[in-house]
Amino acid sequence: MTAPRKLHIKSYGCQMNVYDAQRMVDTLAPEGFVETANADDADLVILNTCHIREKASEKVYSELGKLRVAKAEAAQAGRTMNVVVAGCVAQAEGNEIIRRAPVVDVVVGPQSYHNLPALLKQAKAGGRALDTEFPVEDKFSFLPPPKPAAIRARGISSFVTVQEGCDKFCTFCVVPYTRGSEVSRPVAKIIDDVQRLADNGVREITLIGQNVNGYHGDGPDGRPWALGTLLYRLAEIPGIARLRYSTSHPRDVEDTLIAAHRDLPALMPFVHLPVQSGSDRILAAMNRKHTTEDYRRVIDRFRDARQDIAFTSDFIVGFPGETEEDFAATLALVTQIGYAGAYSFKYSPRPGTPAADLQETVSQADMDERLVRLQNLIDSQQSAFNAATIGRTVDVLFERPARNPGQIVGRTAYLQPAHVMASDDIIGQVLPVTIESLERYSLLGSLARDSLASAPVANSPVPPVLQPVVSQSVSSHTVTGA
């Protein structure tokens, strides 16, 4: 029997990349690869890259510089280390990576990673391999499903891609070029995936897509199903305690999705609904095709259906032509909506996008200053949102042992981390917790009396080995310089 080969994947960027990294592990497992946390002793290193902002892309080349050294050291020790660049930088830069970085053996775009075993063989046969096609076939049909042990090791919360690509063409964004046009996976395949995850202890599913509420996959009745309809069906799968979805576009909020929030207790009342700007002039220049009034109306529809719903958003400051007045309108919108958290970014011109040609740029100093002001406002809203939890009893889905001995950490409906002193047999259960205090973004509390006496909510097997789960954070998050 040959020894397993070690695979190290470093993922950058969005949750789609986190999910893709897991699927690459599943694709390479039948080839004898097992994951390692350390790049230096790996036989195969994959950089799963992000192209959304300039800083994110640049990181790839600095990482490749380090890998050049590690690869040379491996060769000196008589080992072969292969290096793969995957993800959106691979898609956008393709041959340029091969030209600039001789350390790279394979370049593979996000729609082609099911071809990784063949590409590695090609590289081994003496060449360097590139695949940045947008194949017509659904790559998911070619990916092996994760093994039960892999699912269990990944914890009780899982992403499932239901939709990929984007046809919206916001003028600042590379996604339509790197991920291609919108494709929805068929309903039956998603049900299979979720059923398999549930059978192996997963309790929470986050459906992901670049434009997830644009989902329109073929249903078993031969008609396209909307995201809301899909959620109703998934909520019937035994063992699934919580459903989430991300990222939504304000233009694609259909009535079935609103109804699903009204009707499904498993559908968490927490929606990431990026608006990008509070100025109608800037929204038009961004080609968002919605106004602030449209956005407010969408928020009202959600709130009418479920009063405890909370929102997060993405904002871009310093889009070309953004005046102080436009920015003031963004602050006004944030004040009016009241967010539980948000991501805010300085505008980063991306080659090939329409906005990159706009001349009326905003100075770095103005961008920096606006970012701080926006972030301060969002931080204050997030702190108030978290502080409002103190003294209340809220449901927490427990995920894993915390860093502090004896503590178990889980997440509230709003993805706030919540810590309690308890034994680890509560992992995988949704239990009421009385929140006593707040430490930065984490809630501290104790299991509510009722939960100590009551039967566990979990009705699916609890995974024996639990690793930290990567899940979307509500922390307000400033990405500077990118």
- Contacting residues toward ligand SAM, per CB under 6 A: 14, 52-53, 172-173, 175, 210-211, 247, 249, 274, 276, 314, 316, 345, 347-348, 350
Q: Which DSSP symbol is given to 45?
A: E
Closer of 170 and 197 to ligand SAM (Cβ): 170
Sheet with strand 44-49: strands edge to edge: 33-35, 5-11, 44-49, 82-86, 106-108, 129-131
Q: Quick one: what does residue 176 bind among ligand SAM, ligand SF4, none, with the CB cut-off 5 to 8 Å set by partner type? A: ligand SF4
Angle at 226 between CA 222 and CA 230, to 5 degrees: 85
The SS3 of residue 162 is: coil
- State in angstroms the smallest separation of the CB of 467 from ligand SAM: 26
Closer of 299 and 427 to ligand SAM (Cβ): 299
- State in angstroms the smallest separation of the CB of 169 from ligand SF4: 6
Contacts to ligand SF4 by CB under 6 A: 166, 168-170, 173, 175-176, 210-211, 249
Q: Which DSSP symbol is given to 115?
A: G
Angstrom distance (rounded) from CA 166 to CA 169:
7
Angstrom distance (rounded) from CA 47 to CA 475:
25
Angstrom distance (rounded) from CA 173 to CA 355:
8
Closer of 36 and 279 to ligand SAM (Cβ): 279
- State in angstroms the smallest separation of the CB of 16 from ligand SF4: 10
Q: Which two tokens stand for residue 344?
A: 């805010």
Angstrom distance (rounded) from CA 138 to CA 314:
29
- State in angstroms the smallest separation of the CB of 334 from ligand SAM: 14
Q: Which DSSP symbol is given to 281?
A: H
Closer of 115 and 312 to ligand SF4 (Cβ): 312
Closer of 225 and 345 to ligand SAM (Cβ): 345
Q: Quick one: what does residue 375 bind among ligand SAM, ligand SF4, none, with the CB cut-off 5 to 8 Å set by partner type? A: none
- State in angstroms the smallest separation of the CB of 272 from ligand SF4: 11
Q: Quick one: what does residue 313 bind among ligand SF4, ligand SAM, none, with the CB cut-off 5 to 8 Å set by partner type? A: none
The single-letter code of the amino acid at 395 is D
- State in angstroms the smallest separation of the CB of 52 from ligand SF4: 8
In terms of Cα–Cα distance, which of 371, 365, 305 is closest to 334?
371
Closer of 134 and 232 to ligand SAM (Cβ): 134
